[in-house]
Every structure is written in structure tokens, then in C-alpha cells.
């Protein structure tokens, strides 16, 4: 009997291991993530308010949590948060920072697929931000997220559209010209069109109920939610 290989790209894990110490440096490699995080939280909370009485005491899991930027935001708002990732150093940073902030977040080194076997239908809210473009099989992660969420619960996905504009902004501008993130952070071949992501989600009984683009201008540091999904976008799905 053969064991199914983990849905993990070791090279991608290594990239984030190398820069893990910068995760909470607001001027370092993760500065763009810190700047767009309030937009994500705004989008997530808007839909939680429509689906639930509020975020207080909801069971939430942040898939591919990294150093815990979004996990901490959700915990501060009152959710009971679990964060999972396969990077040892990012998780160590996340655990230490949560301890310093007095936030009771449960961080675990595991894949989405492994966690789904262990905790099916356990979470009111599942978030998966900027992670799908870093794994060999994104559809497998989407399936796991659909398994983790309770019926009627919400799943949020954020990733980069496979477009010429996303290549120019996320790779040429952000990595090579402005050096906002390390060179090689992104692979345009692994970017995902919204139509493809929605199709995968629907295959696993997740209905997309809203979508928004995340606009980020690195020169002016202006960031806002927009209608266009041509670069970075976020989806809200409800489990049927």
C-alpha cells in the first residue's frame, strides 16, 4: 500500500522559512501583507455579519497561516482560531507573537488535507489566503477547506489571477523592480483564474456568494477593495 504524497512544494516552504524572522516587521518583506490585511478582515467580517450574529466565539481555521497575520486579527475580534501551516519557522514566529500578544491561537504543523480528515465539519469559518498558488494541487486544498467547514459555514479564498496584468504587477513590478517581496516569491504559471477557482469550489459544494479585487499601489501605499478581479482577488463561498 502506497501513501499519498503530501500536497506540499518543499521549495515553496523553504522560501518562507528563509524570511520567517521578518514576518512581523512592518517594513520588511511582508509589508504588503500587513497593508492589505485590513481589507481582508473587512471583507471577511462583512460576510460573517450577514451569515452569523457576529464573529465572537466562532470556530475559525486559517489554512496556510504563515506567521499569523490574519489569524491574530480574527482572534482579536473574538473568534476561536486555529492556524495551520507546513513551515516550521513561520509557525514558531506565529506562536511566539501570539504569546506576546496574549492571544490563545492553536497553531499546528499539518496540511489542509490531513486536518480535514481529523476535523471534518468542525469550523464556522475557513480562510485560505495567498496559499493556493504555492501548492502542487490547489483543488485538493479547496476540497479540504470544503470538508473542514460546517454546512452553512463560510470559506474565504484569496489568490492571484492568471492574467498579464498580474504578471506585470506581482512579478515584474513587485519582485524585480520595486523589490517589495523576494525575487521568486511568485510563479505566474501557478496563478489561478477566478472562473477556475469558482469551478473547483462548486465541485465540492461551495457556492461563491461574493468576490472582490484587492487593489494595492506600492508607490502611494494606497489599498482598497475594488470590483475588478484582474490581479489579486478574494472570494467568499458558502457550504451548501
Binding site members for S-adenosyl-L-methionine: 40, 64, 85, 129
Give Cβ neighbours of residue 165 (< 8 Å, ≥ 6 apart). Answer: 230, 231
| All three cell numbers of 13 | 516552504
Rg (CA), the chain: 17
Binding residues: 40, 64, 85, 129
Around Cβ 21, how many Cβ atoms within 10 Å?
15
Per the structure block, which three cell numbers stand in for 22?
Answer: 521578518
Q: Strand pairing of 59-63 and 80-85?
A: parallel
Contacts of 229 (CB under 8 A, 6+ apart): 161, 194, 211, 212, 213
Amino acid at each position: 500500500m502506497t501513501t499519498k504524497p503530501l500536497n506540499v512544494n518543499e521549495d515553496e516552504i523553504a522560501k518562507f522559512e528563509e524570511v520567517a524572522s521578518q514576518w512581523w516587521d512592518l517594513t520588511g518583506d511582508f509589508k504588503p501583507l500587513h497593508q492589505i490585511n485590513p481589507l481582508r478582515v473587512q471583507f471577511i467580517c462583512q460576510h460573517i455579519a450577514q451569515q452569523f450574529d457576529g464573529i465572537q466565539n466562532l470556530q475559525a481555521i486559517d489554512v496556510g497561516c504563515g506567521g499569523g497575520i490574519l489569524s491574530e486579527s480574527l482572534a482579536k475580534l473574538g473568534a476561536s482560531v486555529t492556524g495551520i501551516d507546513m513551515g516550521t519557522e513561520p509557525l514558531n514566529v506565529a506562536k511566539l507573537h501570539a504569546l506576546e500578544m496574549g492571544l490563545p491561537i492553536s497553531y499546528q504543523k499539518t496540511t489542509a488535507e490531513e486536518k480535514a480528515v481529523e476535523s471534518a465539519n468542525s469550523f464556522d469559518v475557513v480562510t485560505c489566503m495567498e496559499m493556493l498558488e504555492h501548492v502542487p494541487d490547489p483543488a485538493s486544498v479547496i476540497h479540504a477547506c470544503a470538508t473542514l467547514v460546517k454546512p452553512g459555514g463560510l470559506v474565504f479564498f484569496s489568490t492571484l489571477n492568471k492574467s498579464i496584468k498580474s504578471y506585470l504587477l506581482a512579478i515584474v513590478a513587485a519582485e524585480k523592480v520595486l523589490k517589495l517581496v523576494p525575487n521568486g516569491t511568485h510563479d505566474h504559471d501557478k496563478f489561478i483564474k477566478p472562473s477556475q477557482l469558482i469551478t473547483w469550489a462548486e465541485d465540492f459544494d461551495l457556492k461563491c456568494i461574493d468576490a472582490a479585487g484587492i487593489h494595492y499601489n506600492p508607490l502611494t501605499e494606497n489599498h482598497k477593495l475594488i470590483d475588478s478581479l484582474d490581479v489579486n482577488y478574494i472570494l467568499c463561498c458558502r457550504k451548501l
